[in-house]
Amino acid sequence: QVQLQESGPGLVKPSETLSLTCSVSGGSISPYYWSWIRQPPGKGLEWIGYIYYSGSTNYNPSLKSRVTISVDTSKNQFSLKLSSVTAADTAVYYCARGGSWIESWGQGTLVTVSS
């Protein structure tokens, strides 16, 4: 059973870059799609983007100008960078396996944007 664990700062200042890493255990990064999804407080789920193990990506157009997702197959990890954050980016961020339906999720990590 694959397990995913998000890691990174829980507090980010406005205008800075949010950086999270997802460590995958119990299975290989290949040959799967890996997504980042977030849920702002009191709101629904929002897909941020995904990366294939080979490195190809697809992003939500609403965030595309600020998002970079990368993969490190040697470490069985993939990462999210979201630049120029504002309070609207405060959310629980999930890493997950899947590029269509999402079959496995990390526990999620709350990232708060505040000075």
Partner 1 sequence: DIVMTQSPDSLAVSLGERATINCKSSQSVLNSSNNKNYLAWYQHKPGQPPKLLIFWASTRESGVPDRFSGSGSGTDFTLTISSLQAEDVAVYSCQQYYSIPLTFGPGTKLDIK
- Residue 115 CB, nearest approach to partner 1 (Å): 28
Euclidean distance between CA atoms 28 and 55, whole angstroms: 14
CA-wise closest residue to 34 among 53, 8, 18: 53
- Residue 114 CB, nearest approach to partner 1 (Å): 22
94 binds partner 1 (CB under 8 A): yes
Contact segment (CB under 8 A) with partner 1 among 15-23, 39-47, 70-78, 81-89 equals: 39-47
62 binds partner 1 (CB under 8 A): yes
Cβ pair 43, 49 in contact under 8 A? no
Euclidean distance between CA atoms 108 and 80, whole angstroms: 13
Taking CB under 8 A as the criterion, the residue among 8, 19, 46, 81 binding partner 1 is: 46
Taking CB under 8 A as the criterion, the residue among 61, 74, 86, 88 binding partner 1 is: 61
| Paired strand residues for 17 | none
Residue 16 per-residue DSSP state:
S
45 binds partner 1 (CB under 8 A): yes
Cα Rg, the chain, nearest whole Å: 13
Residues of the shown chain interacting with partner 1 in the complex, contacts defined by CB under 8 A: 35, 43-47, 58, 60-62, 94, 96, 99-108
